[in-house]
Amino acid sequence: MKTARLWNIWIPTFAILAGLLIGAFIMVIFGYNPVDNYLSMFQGAFGDINSWGATLSDMTPLIFTALGFSIADSAGFFNIGSPGQALVGWLAAVWFALANSSLPGWLLIPGALLMGGVAGALLSGLAGVLRAYFGTNEVISTIMLNYVALYVVNYLVQTQLAIHHNDYSKTIPAAARLRTPFLEQLTRNSTFSYGFFMALAAAIIIFIVMRFSRIGFEIRAVGLNPTGAAYLGINSKAVIIRSMALSGFLSGLGGAINGLGNYENITVSSALPTIGFNGMAVSLLAGGNPLGILPAALLFSGLSIGGLNMSVVSNTPPEIVNVIIPTIIFFVGCNYAIRYLLNHQIWRKRAADHPAEAAQTTTFKREVD
């Protein structure tokens, strides 16, 4: 047991180091200094309060989209729709804030966030209904709904929210902002907002809901074995719709917080927001565990924010950075492969050296798997 825990720390560390090493190798090949660049990467992500602000701000929407993805995933559904759900959430929140600009902040912010969440839930709930009653594959329906969301949102921004032929809406009223002068001063004008604390709270709530509540149990039961769940008396159709809606609610909330906290307006976008797809990667990296999503999101945002610094303070082109960062993530992502290889190696070696210990190692192996 103790060895297993140790390995749980060692393997990801090894994965990160391997990723950094390959990244360094790439930089050396192209004639850039890896030591300087990694230093500026770490400084860019965690070097001072402004960098911390940017990193935490960047991870905020990722936590929401990752949580959303993990819930649908627990129920056995691959919700690819989080980019679209985040986008409609963003639109709904900004729209609500602009339309009700006279409301006080304590009403405006919850109202806008709720609108964002509901918009996301409606979109994913649609895919849920199609799945529950018509057996439509949710991967196809959510992918297609992403495009529906993108073009409908662009249309609405252009026709309803844009100010004189521009491609962006007005800025949200000050009362709806999730950033405050205090936070801006504290983090020296990063986009860090109170949304971060909401994200932390959401992760804890979802953890509790999934572990200890009835709906959490039902979702997991359906995910493990839909037929078995039906024998337990679980209405699987309702659970499918609920889990998809909850998943979309969280993604929509992520988009809403991104809109109110980070951008403070909405623009015509040429592509779906990256928080959706990155959120899926974060969730998969965390193995779907709501609390594991926090460090996984931090890793993602730290690398991406730190990576920006590499090309700003040196003449390393961003293209090189864009090769290195995914390389590192790739290695972290395949830490299960590394684990598998190491396990087999150790097991075989031990079995040969000390046959008596082999039995014990088998237990350890099962523990890790």
Among positions 180-209, residues that touch other proteins (CB under 8 A) are 184, 189-191
Query: Which letter, b or e, does each residue of 174-188 get, where b requires 16 or more Cβ atoms within 10 Å of its Cβ?
Result: ebbbbbeeebbeebe
Nearer to other proteins, 124 or 262 (CB): 262
Closest CA to 343 of 362, 329, 356, 359: 362
Using rule CB under 8 A, residue 334 touches other proteins: no
Take residue 173 and report the two structure tokens written for it. Answer: 């009223």
Determine the angle formed by the axes of helices 49-74 and 82-99, rounding to 10 degrees.
120
How far apart (Å, rounded) are the C-alpha atoms in residues 247 and 89?
12
Pick the stretch among 24-32, 74-82, 164-172, 345-353 that binds other proteins (CB under 8 A). 164-172
330 lines the binding site for other proteins (CB under 8 A): no
The one among 312, 330, 341, 348 contacting other proteins by CB under 8 A: 312
**Smallest gap, in angstroms, from Cβ of residue 245 to other proteins?**
25
Kindly tell me which residue out of 3, 43, 235, 236 binds other proteins, with binding defined by CB under 8 A. 43
From residue 229, give the alpha-carbon distance in Å to each of 126, 219, 224, 303: 22, 9, 8, 41
| The one among 2, 104, 231, 271 contacting other proteins by CB under 8 A | 271
In the range 13-32, which residues lie near other proteins by CB under 8 A? 13, 15-16
Query: In the set 71, 127, 281, 286, which binds other proteins (CB under 8 A)?
Result: 286
Residue 299 found at the interface with other proteins (CB under 8 A): yes
**Residue 168 is a binding residue for other proteins (CB under 8 A):** yes
Residues 100, 101, 136, 158: which binds other proteins (CB under 8 A)? 158
Give the nearer residue to other proteins in terms of CB position, either 244 or 285.
285
For the chain, the residue count is 369
Three-state SS annotation for 89-148: HHHHHHHHHHHCCCCCHHHHHHHHHHHHHHHHHHHHHHHHHHHHHHCCCHHHHHHHHHHH
Kindly state the helix (H) or strand (E) to which residue 179 belongs, with its residue range: none
d(C-alpha 140, C-alpha 128), whole Å = 12
171 part of the interface to other proteins, by CB under 8 A: yes
Q: Does 148 bind other proteins (CB under 8 A)?
A: no
**Rg value, the chain, Cα:** 22
User: Nearer Cβ to other proteins, position 138 or 264?
Assistant: 264
Measured in Å, how far apart are the chain's first and last C-alpha atoms? 12
According to the binding rule CB under 8 A, does residue 295 interact with other proteins? yes
Using CB under 8 A as the binding rule, whether residue 66 contacts other proteins is answered as: no
For position 42 contacting other proteins by CB under 8 A, the verdict is: yes
298 is a site residue for other proteins (CB under 8 A): yes
- Least Å distance, CB 299 to other proteins, is 5
Q: Which stretch binds other proteins (CB under 8 A): 11-19, 112-120, 222-230, 232-240?
A: 11-19
- What is the b/e burial string over 84-113, where b = at least 16 CB atoms within 10 angstroms of the residue's CB? bbbbbbbbbbbbbbbebeebeeeebbebbb
